[in-house]
Chains A and B, each alone.
Chain A
Amino acid sequence: MSTENTYDVVIVGAGITGAIVANQLAEKGHKVLILEAGVQKSFDFESYRAYLHHYYQNTIKIPNSPYPQNPNAPQPLVTDVGDIEDGIQQFNKDGYFRQYGPAPFQSTYTRAKGGTTLHWLGTCLRMLPSDFKEKDLYDSGKNWPINYYDLMPYYRMAEREIGVSADVEEQAFFGIEFEENYVYPMTKIPQSHLDKKLTEWTKGATFDYEGKTYPYKVVSTPQGRNSNPNPNYNNGEGYQPVGAVGNPDLGQRCEGNSACVPICPVQAKYNALKTLKKAVDKGVVIYSQCVASEILYDEDSGEITGIKYKEYEDFDSLTDTSKPCNYIEKVITAKRYVLAAHAVENAKLMLASGFKNKNIGQNLMDHPVLLTWGLAPEAIGAFRGPGSTSGIPSLRDGTFRKDRSAFRIEIGNWGWNWPAGSPTTELQEGLSKQLFGKELRAFLLDTVQKEFRLGFLIEQQALSNNSVTIDDRYRDELGNYRPIINYNITDHEKEGMLAAKEFSKQFFDALSGTDKTQYSPDKGGFILYKGEELWWQGAGHLAGTHIMGTDKENSVVDKYQRCHEHKNLFLVGCGNMPTMGTSNPTLTIAALSFWAAENISKDLNS
């Protein structure tokens, strides 16, 4: 087995977290290598376009449809979660995850250069100050070893790197503070016609629940997609939007392609290829088609001595969809190591290497998303613009968090596409009514133009039973472990869902819309709780598998993002989060990656 040793830092994973750490370290003059499991893809725009065509031509339009399954580095698919049969949740046993339930884990990620931001939506909310000390405030969840104010400067760096569009005045709620004179890099993305109408229709009305009232305040969402540069950014220095990698004139501004998940055709939406390209231009080396399989370490000191990886042969994942490849095993060594392979893969890698910390793999979290949907009183023009441009934050914080989950409400601009497969479903419905020609058109226009949906991102608590483990019997084609998932949701979360469902009912009443939410009891994610039908999906926010804390008893990494027991190993990504809060997590982990890079650099220089 060949061993290479020329780098200061080796990073596993070329997603947003790995890319930020690499770029920052290169900036400081360190020699960096990234091992990436996905296929070799150049940075030219044509190879990105190939993903787009793969998406167009895929009959199943799910988040991973542009990015083909690669047997050498498989990825989970939402379609691996089956129906409920005789009260028991079914799973595709040949899917990448081996799931034991009892509840379905429905979130996925992408194993290709650029990682999961290739198909993220781009929502870039900061976490609330209270999310960092939930244990203290609500005797629920955990505390972070750092607070909002510690993270503030790094949030700014993350907002710059991703290129976030938002207006500061609208984002200072629930104690979120910004430095004086701070503005986002770009002005806010225009709110959709739907957002504006919902504001108008629900004006003055409130959500009444358990003796408290909450406003239906529709607030525009900060987004990692290009709008107009803010001339006041950085004390008047301004901001230069970053267009498509390999075609920088493209994607300077969002064009309303309405396909942010699963792929923005022009890269107006941020993806990690943008940061990776900068890193490579600074000398960072990426080894693609290299799947890290084991972390080698000294039993006595805990020091990491190398990373073993499997490099597989050239392979066109767009055409050779099933054929696994020959590979060779190699070892790479460096002064410092970083795992940035995303929550599940990071945990799996540490378990496969025999790490002893009992918290590894535990506390798996997501934002279970309760979906509701209905019709607006008039045509609002569904299926236009980014997937979501606004949300309702009213229930993101409050003393109720002692007893039930907080949630953020995302307003969806793409009709019932997510909950009901629109518009194909309506087309099939029209055909089953024997409609054709102009009548069919009129039927489709009339129904779909009024459609919208709400998504309630329910905060999930960190629990040891929700976990990623490994089992010698279940391996992928290269002989690497397939993640074993045990997962459930608690009454705390179900109470949150109950409040969400009630919110939805009152909301549709307030706007004089028609609530069309109807769940089928055999669909994965369905539950009956206190007589109420509930149905949730995954948010793609896999988190908590190697949380940060104060010592090795309660956590895997310290506040510097360094492993308690392996001082030359740093972890980045959602796995470090001890609580989820109600923000989509990527802005926060991007901020933490800047923080981690700073700590690694200091450590190397000391």
Chain B
Amino acid sequence: MKITVSERLDWFEKLSVILTGFSRSELLGTGLIEIYLDTIDQHLGEDHVNTLLDSFRKINIQDEEDLTAEESRNIQELVESKSNESITKLVILLWYTGQWYGKNSYIVSSQSYLEGLVWKAIGAHPMGGKQPGYGTWGFPPLTFSS
């Protein structure tokens, strides 16, 4: 089956929402979706990526920000399957750190470092960027619903 460029991007976006636990708008806000799909294509080859996207498509998720129990089970299976385990981890690492963890690890760009989701996940801001302002460290941490 032939997948169009916009379909690929759409699936990658949805898959990323599920893998990272961040909303679509948060991911869009990073401005990095296309760059990350490119990065993964470049290192793993489009065919390999398509296989993952295709198995994802087949699960036929209705709302990626609110999975049903069955959808969750299917996703769990996909993430843990032998063929997809390492690639889904690479995708999560890329989103969380802005770094490609391959044979030659590298940080995609300054922007990707600053948009690393790990900082948001821990309730902080990237070290060296997105400064929260004078004295904020003296306040109690924000409590995030997870």
Contacts and interface: CB of A to CB of B under 8 A. Distances in A.
A438 interface: yes
Interface stretch (A56-64, A74-82, A105-113, A360-368): A56-64
Q: Which of A424, A427, A434, A448 has the most CB of B within 10 A?
A: A427
A380 B113 CA distance: 24
Nearest to B105: A59
B146 A441 contact: yes
B21 A441 contact: yes
Interface string B117-146: 011011111011101111111111111101
A437 B19 contact: yes
A302 interface: no
B92 A449 contact: no
Contacts of A254: 134
B99 to A, nearest CB: 6
A441 B121 contact: yes
Contact of A449 (B107, B131, B138, B141): B141
A253 B88 CA distance: 42
Contacts, number: 153
A61 B99 CA distance: 13
B27 interface: no
Interface string A310-325: 0000000000000000
Contacts of A438: 21, 146
A447 to B, nearest CB: 8
A442 B97 CA distance: 17
Contacts of A407: none
Nearest to A428: B93
Nearest to A263: B128
Interface in A428-448: 431, 434, 436-442, 444-446, 448
Interface stretch (A142-150, A185-193, A278-286, A347-355): A185-193
Contacts of B127: 61, 257-259, 383, 414, 417
Interface in B75-112: 79-80, 88-89, 92-93, 96-97, 99, 105-107, 109-110
B18 interface: yes
B88 to A, nearest CB: 7
A230 B37 CA distance: 52
B20 interface: yes
Given A263-B128, A438-B21, A444-B121, A255 B138 contact: no
B61 interface: no
A263 B129 CA distance: 11
A57 B109 contact: yes
B81 to A, nearest CB: 11
B138 A193 contact: yes
A99 B140 CA distance: 45
Contacts of B49: none
A384 B125 CA distance: 8
Nearest to A66: B128
A290 interface: no
Contact of B138 (A58, A192, A437): A192
With most chain A CB atoms within 10 A of its CB, the pick from B134, B136, B139 is: B134
Contact of B122 (A59, A437, A445): A445
B32 interface: no
B9 interface: no
Interface string A367-386: 00000000000011111111
A265 interface: yes
A379 B20 contact: no
B89 A256 contact: no
Given A193-B140, A427-B97, A439-B21, A256 B132 contact: yes
B93 A427 contact: yes
A203 interface: no
Interface in B36-78: none
Given A258-B125, A265-B129, A427 B96 contact: yes
A196 interface: yes
A95 interface: no
Nearest to A52: B128
A377 to B, nearest CB: 14
B114 interface: yes
A521 interface: no
A89 interface: no
A379 B146 CA distance: 14
B137 A253 contact: no
A431 B122 contact: no
Contact of B118 (A256, A424, A442, A446): A424
Contacts of B134: 190, 227, 253-256
A385 B79 CA distance: 36
Nearest to B17: A437
Contact of B21 (A266, A381, A413, A440): A440
Residue among B92, B105, B121, B129 with max Cβ neighbours from chain A (10 Å): B121
Interface in A322-353: none
A561 to B, nearest CB: 36
A423 interface: yes
B19 A258 contact: no
B146 to A, nearest CB: 4
A486 interface: no
A437 B141 contact: no
A415 B128 CA distance: 15
Contacts of B88: 436
Contacts of B106: 57, 59
Contact of B137 (A381, A417, A426, A449): A381
6 contacts: A55-B128, A254-B134, A255-B133, A259-B129, A380-B141, A389-B137
Interface of A: 52-53, 55-59, 61, 190-193, 196, 227, 253-259, 263, 265-266, 379-386, 389, 413-415, 417, 423-424, 426-427, 431, 434, 436-442, 444-446, 448-449
Interface of B: 18-22, 79-80, 88-89, 92-93, 96-97, 99, 105-107, 109-110, 113-114, 118-119, 121-125, 127-129, 131-144, 146
- Top-9 shortest CB links A-B: A385-B137, A381-B141, A259-B128, A383-B124, A442-B146, A255-B131, A437-B21, A190-B138, A448-B122
